[in-house]
Amino acid sequence: MKLANLPLLQVCLAFFLGIWSGFIDIELSFYSIVVFCLSSFSLFLVVYIAIKGWYGLKSFFGGVALLFLFSLGFLNTQAHLPQHQKMHYSKFLDADSSESVVVSFEGDITSSLKPNAYKDKYALNLTSLNGKKTKGKALFQVPISQESKVKANSKIIGYGKIAAFEDPKNPQQFNYKAYMASQQMTHKIDADSSQFKIENQAKFNLAQIGESIRVKIQNSLEAHSFSDDQMDIIQALLLGQKQNVDPETYAQFSKAGVVHILAVSGLHVGIILLILRSLTQVLLRVRHGKYFREFLVLLGIWGFAILAGMTPSVMRAAVMFSFLSIGLQYKRKTSAVNTLALSAVLLLCINPFMIQQVGFQLSYLAVLSIISLQPRLYTLYQPKYIIDKRLWDIITVTLTAQLGVLPLSLYYFHQFPGLFLLSNLVILPGLGLILSGGILVILLSLFNLLPEILVKSYGIILDVLLYFVEWIASKETLIFSNLYFSKSLLISSLILLFSLILWHSKRKMLSYSILNLSLAALLMMIYLTNQKRFQQEETLVFNAYRSSYLGMLKGSFLNLYTDDSRSKDTIKSTYLIKNYALLKGVDSINILSFRNFYQLASAETLVVLDSIPVMPKGKFVADYLYLKNSPDVNLEQVLNTLKPKVIIADGSNYKSDVDVWQATAEKFSIKFHSTWESGAFVFPKD
């Protein structure tokens, strides 16, 4: 009995589940995790030896083998977590402190990240912190106004303020801390240009070499008359630098349903593979030329991956197409699903954090859906001519890819582009021309041989692409946005998707049963989710800078009390309110002015004191006291009168006032909640 007898997809799935489970926050030492892995391995060996030749117990052996593979994935993730790395820089910082502290540091810049309006951002591998040898990645931030930019393959020495990423301050707010954790970063370092120095170093690093080449290419292209928009598209399509694309342009590609062409992935690497195999076909006429050809093809694929920044999507594609290229060269019948699964296992062994990255999830689901569902969909129609064959190819590939990423797209982005099919039918046939033309432009520019007529011709092609995408994106009525999609709907829809992917033509009864059960489960989850949405109730004080927002949610209706002087439409469209309404499934928002007294759903009372405080008349006891806009009151007298259980201070107050109030609350043994420090305050339901 061999492990190879287990279906490869089951083997990989067990490993993936172990990888994912390793991120669960559990109170286990790394020693106990290693013991668990060794125990599962011992059990695997014992069962293998004990039942060798007993084919009736094959299923039992398979279960034990899958448990062992699960434990391997679990151990791999745990070994990469910062808390289990003795030399990680977080071990040399005060774990209980959320304040930034000044530190001296040394490290290597590996790549530049997308800047914001104020700061340039870089990935920094720390090698020393306060004179102690360390390791681990951190986000390095520099004021964007500095004259000299930090470059890749450079060493940084200096001092700055280091701080851990914070949890979101409001419900349903984007969790930047979790996102940076998926990039293996737990802290950020802020420094001015005068606080550090840059030293070039000759340390061999593929990612840094790739960035150095990209910088050289960018400089050579900027010497020609490409517009800013054209340069952004070239960098995204050919250099993998989509962070430079204008946000409005990126949004238009997303609305048109072709944002995937801006992220270098399997589509781009597949086209590169076809181009390389066509260019090197002449080598087959030479003795041993097929080996030299394969070497050049693999060199080209991985060279393109390094140039594109070695992102999860391009790494996945490079690994997968490397397997595929070798299989094509030696005429091996390689299962595309097995190739895809093996590429994922290889990447996750190196970096398990990839499984948490949205791009990684989207790219794998898209390719898995294409190779599993497209051949079945293609058989529904038999094209007779070359043109309709090509069109049917694009239609089936586009539909299956969109079906594969639909659950994740709805969950992460809450929108669906209605014209995605038309966009792909127009753009995909010409993408090969755009990529091959871009490669030619880059090569000629590097050798100072790029003629101006080619610059203008290629620029026109890119302008046509941008114009078409802008036209598609302008059809707002066909873009379905602000769609409510919960995690339970995501899970149930993924189960339905995998029941389609794993359909077995020789086991139709079982496949039909699983498919129907999955569909029934999804429909039931849709019903239950809507029931829960219409029955939800929540009252909360948001955390907002210099503003006050009190939300009272009942079902899909939100009463929002605010002193914001902006228009109602502007308030509703702010990120804070829009995102909360989107993820709570709110259909209607009613903007109201603040009152001084509220009766909560829990039968408790809330008193609001503003800059012009109005105290309730007579003997009145408040369960909650909400302070906003720094009211000029004698808080001790107020507490003696109202006797609240909890005091809430939002972001509209002066910090000095909040500090005084907190000290007073401690004196009276009353719970104090500052939204600046602890985030939004959600009132208990009971």
pLDDT digits (tens, 9 = 90+) for 172-194: 788 888 889 888 899 999 998 88
Residue 237, pLDDT score: 83
The answer to whether residues 63 and 43 touch, using CB atoms and an 8 Å cutoff, is no
Residue pLDDT, tens place only, 55-92: 555 666 667 777 878 888 888 888 888 888 889 998 88
Residue 265, pLDDT score: 73
Residue type, 347: L
Residue 322, pLDDT score: 84
Give the helix/strand (H/E) hosting 103: strand 101-113
For 557, residues 6+ apart whose C-beta sits below 8 A from its C-beta are 586, 587, 588, 590
Residue 100, pLDDT score: 82
The answer to whether residues 167 and 143 touch, using CB atoms and an 8 Å cutoff, is no
**What is the secondary structure of 124-164 as a DSSP string?**
EEEEEETTEE-B-EEEEEEETT-SSPP-SSEEEEEEEEEEE
Residue 217, pLDDT score: 87
Residue 540, pLDDT score: 95
d(CA 335, CA 320): 11
Nearest to 593 by CA among 622, 624, 558, 565: 565
Residue 139, pLDDT score: 94
In this structure, the chain runs to a length of 686
Residue pLDDT, tens place only, 366-394: 888 888 888 888 888 888 888 888 888 88
The answer to whether residues 266 and 321 touch, using CB atoms and an 8 Å cutoff, is yes
Nearest to 533 by CA among 483, 598, 492, 600: 483
401-420 core/surface letters (b: 16 or more CB in 10 A; e: else): bbbbbbbbbbbeebbbbebb
Residue 467, pLDDT score: 92
Residues of the chain with pLDDT under 70: 1-9, 26-31, 33, 36, 41, 43-62, 95-98, 145-148, 152, 200-205, 207-208, 312, 327-335, 505, 618, 686
From start to end of 474-571, where are the E strands? 479-481, 537-541, 549-554, 557-562
The answer to whether residues 349 and 76 touch, using CB atoms and an 8 Å cutoff, is yes
Helix, strand, or coil (residue 111): strand
How would you classify the pairing of strands 557-562 and 588-592?
parallel
Residue 212, pLDDT score: 77
Residue 31, pLDDT score: 66
Measured in whole angstroms, the distance separating CA 22 from the mean position of its chain's CA atoms is: 18
At 470, phi and psi to the nearest 5?
-65, -40
Residue pLDDT, tens place only, 323-373: 777 766 665 555 677 777 878 888 888 889 888 888 788 888 888 888 888
Residue 1, pLDDT score: 38
Residue 138, pLDDT score: 93
At 118, phi and psi to the nearest 5?
-115, -25
Nearest to 23 by CA among 75, 60, 65: 75
Residue 623, pLDDT score: 92
Tell me 113's DSSP state.
E
Residue type, 497: L
Give the helix/strand (H/E) hosting 326: helix 312-329
